[in-house]
């Protein structure tokens, strides 16, 4: 029989605690347990049959269920089994209340998902100890789940940060490679000329034209600007790029990119025509970033095609009067539809054994820059015919 309520349990009477769901068809047992648990400080919900109890538990999601075994309709075992089949409530611990004492009945209860048994007639101390034990276990489980979720999110955030750092480092090395390579080729040509002169009885000084010096200075200046731009984007942890737009002529920006790549064009015996009209409207763009787009498109074409490539840069007003359509076209080996579909993804790669796709970071950066300007970029390519890259930019 139940004893009087001890002080250490009744002290919890005025504080909000866990929600207990009672399921019993016996009004006497139900009333007795209801008063006991309410006086102990629990919030108590009740049900009198298994079918309705499942519906109420699904809605209320209590912290623990006290479930009678012998009930009309579906019994406690079947009620427990159905609860454990529902992903939304299967985590709720269930304690059976029963007068059954056979081991086989207890084993069956554990098999369908119960965590414990309370035998009738109830002993107050036993009921409270078992309730608080399983509620403690349940709270520890919830705490562990929260900690695991927090840890998983931390892992996701750290992985994303490492990925962003990787892209940043690769972007620095990728976009500096072309102007640095071009600069080294100019210097190497001068050194080769100096080596030939040194064996001459009366070597002449190596003369460098003002035009070459201006190109070297401009290339170095753009390298420094590019480094500053990349560091700014990374330092502010901004996805993509930071723009400093101005009203500019597109043809001049394209020509600057061509000038930086001229040694590479000469090396690969490539011809390039800049057919961008002089009378196009001014564009609201970041000169450095758009120069990166042209350089990446041109250098990728040189890298993944045989020598002797023909390249053409054009631009025209789009049907949308607020944008200009820019194109970079070549007569190279082209690409398949499957290759073109993945071309602007981060680190998209193709068959490295051929001079085909494998474009990696460069075109991903082009997409980031064009989209940061509010434009779009795409490609149309045919194997053994060539590729045509198109992107849009906003008019001032």
Give the single-character DSSP code of 394. Answer: E
* pLDDT value at residue 249: 92
Per-residue pLDDT of the chain (396 residues; tens, 9 = 90+): 444 444 444 344 333 578 999 999 888 888 888 988 988 889 999 998 888 999 999 999 999 999 998 888 899 999 999 999 999 999 999 999 887 766 777 788 888 989 998 888 878 888 889 898 999 898 888 888 888 888 888 888 777 766 766 666 666 666 666 667 767 777 777 767 666 655 665 666 666 777 777 777 767 766 666 666 555 555 444 445 778 889 999 999 999 889 888 888 988 999 999 999 999 999 999 988 898 899 889 988 998 899 999 999 999 998 777 899 999 999 999 998 888 888 887 655 444 333 333 335 778 888 888 999 999 999 999 999 999 999 999 987
Residue-level pLDDT at 283: 92
pLDDT at 4: 43
The single residue listed with the structure tokens 């011809």 is 271
Using alpha carbons, list the distances in angstroms from residue 161 to 168, 241, 252.
10, 16, 36
The CATH 3.40.50.2300 portion of the chain extends over 7-122
Tokens matching residue 352: 């490295």
Closest CA to 23 of 92, 108, 86, 104: 92
Q: Distance between CA atoms of 15 and 42, rounded to whole angstroms?
A: 8
Q: Enumerate the CATH 3.30.565.10 domain ranges in the chain, comma separated.
A: 240-394
**Gap between the Cα atoms of 92 and 95, Å rounded:** 10
CA pair distance 366, 381, nearest whole angstrom = 17
What is the CATH topology of the domain spanning 240-394? Answer: Heat Shock Protein 90 (3.30.565)
Buried b (16+ CB within 10 A) or exposed e, 249-287: bbbebbbbbbbbbbbbbeebebebeeebeeebeebbbbb
The yes/no answer on whether domain 7-122 falls in CATH 3.40.190.10 is no
> pTM of this prediction?
0.50
**C-alpha–C-alpha distance, residues 234 and 227, integer Å:** 11
């Amino acid at each position: 029989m139940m004893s009087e309520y001890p002080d250490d349990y009744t002290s919890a009477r005025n504080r909000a605690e866990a929600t207990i769901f009672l399921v019993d068809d016996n009004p006497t047992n139900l009333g007795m347990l209801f008063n006991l648990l309410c006086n102990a400080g629990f919030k108590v919900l009740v049900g009198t049959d298994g079918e309705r109890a499942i519906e109420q538990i699904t809605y209320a999601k209590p912290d623990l269920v006290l479930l009678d075994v012998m009930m009309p309709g579906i019994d406690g075992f079947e009620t427990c089994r159905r609860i454990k089949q529902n992903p939304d409530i299967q985590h709720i611990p269930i304690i059976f209340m029963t007068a059954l004492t056979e081991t086989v009945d207890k084993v069956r209860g554990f098999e369908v998902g119960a965590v414990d048994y309370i035998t009738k007639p109830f002993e107050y101390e036993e009921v409270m100890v078992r309730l608080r034990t399983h509620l403690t276990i349940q709270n520890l489980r919830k705490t562990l789940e929260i900690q695991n979720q927090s840890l998983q999110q931390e892992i996701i955030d750290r992985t994303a940060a490492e990925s962003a750092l990787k892209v940043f480092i690769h972007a620095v090395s990728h976009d500096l490679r072309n102007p640095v390579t071009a600069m080294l080729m100019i210097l190497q040509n001068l050194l080769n000329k100096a080596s030939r002169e040194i064996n001459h009885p009366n070597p002449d000084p190596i003369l460098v034209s003002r035009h070459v010096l201006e190109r070297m200075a401009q290339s170095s200046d753009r390298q420094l600007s590019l480094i500053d731009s990349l560091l700014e984007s990374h330092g502010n942890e901004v996805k993509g790029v930071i723009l400093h737009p101005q009203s500019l002529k597109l043809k001049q920006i394209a020509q600057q990119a061509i000038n930086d790549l001229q040694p590479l064009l000469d090396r690969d015996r490539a011809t390039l025509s800049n057919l961008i009209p002089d009378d196009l409207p001014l564009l609201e763009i970041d000169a450095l970033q758009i120069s990166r787009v042209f350089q990446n498109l041109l250098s990728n074409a040189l890298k993944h095609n045989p020598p002797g490539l023909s390249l053409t840069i054009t631009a025209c007003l789009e049907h949308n009067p607020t944008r200009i359509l820019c194109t970079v076209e070549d007569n190279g080996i082209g690409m398949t539809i499957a290759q073109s579909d993945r071309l602007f993804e981060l680190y998209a790669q193709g068959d490295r054994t051929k001079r085909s796709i494998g474009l990696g970071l460069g075109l991903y950066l082009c997409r980031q820059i064009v989209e940061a300007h509010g434009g779009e970029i795409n490609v149309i390519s045919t194997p053994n015919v060539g590729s045509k890259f198109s992107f849009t930019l906003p008019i001032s």
